Amino acid sequence: QVQLVESGGGSVQAGGSLTLSCEVSGDRPSCLGWFRQAPGKTREGVAAIRSDGILTYGDAVRGRFTISQDKNKNTLSLQMYDLKTEDTAMYFCAASINKRNSLYAWLRSGGDESDYWGQGTQVTVSS
C-alpha cells in the first residue's frame, strides 16, 4: 500500500509560480508522477520520476515545471513557473509500483494503470 497526500495548490496570477508537494508513505513505488485534469478535459500527464532518477515532462509544461524528490523519497515536489491560465486544473500525485520502461508513455496515457492516487490539489491561474 502507498499513501499519497498532495498539498500546495492555490490561486495565482498568470506568470506566477507555485510549488506542489506530495507526501509519500507506505511501500516504495518505482515511479511517481503528477497528473492534472481540468473540467471537461481528459486527464493529462505533467511530470514523472523513476526510482533510478530518470524523469520526464509532458509537452505542455516542459521547460516551465520541475519535478523532484527529496533524498529520503518521502516527498515528491512539482515546482511550477511561468504559470498560464491553461495550467488551471486539479493536480494529482500517482504511483506505479512496477518500474516502467517509458515514463513518457505513462504520462501520455494520462496515468492509466497507476496503482495509487492522491486526492488532488486545485491550481487556479487567473489572467
Residue 113 pLDDT exceeds 90: no
Summary mean pLDDT of the chain: 96
Backbone region of residue 74 per phi and psi (left: phi > 0; alpha: psi in -120 to 50; beta: other values): alpha
In percent, how much of the chain has pLDDT > 70?
Answer: 100
* Contact by Cβ (8 Å): 103, 55: yes
What's the rounded mean pLDDT across residues 16-39?
Answer: 96
Instruction: Please write the tens of the pLDDT for every residue from 36-90.
Output: 999 999 999 999 999 999 999 999 999 999 999 988 879 999 999 999 999 999 9
* pLDDT of res. 85: 97
Helices and strands (H and E) in the chain: how many: 1, 11
Q: Among residues 6, 1, 4, which one has the least CA distance to residue 26?
A: 1
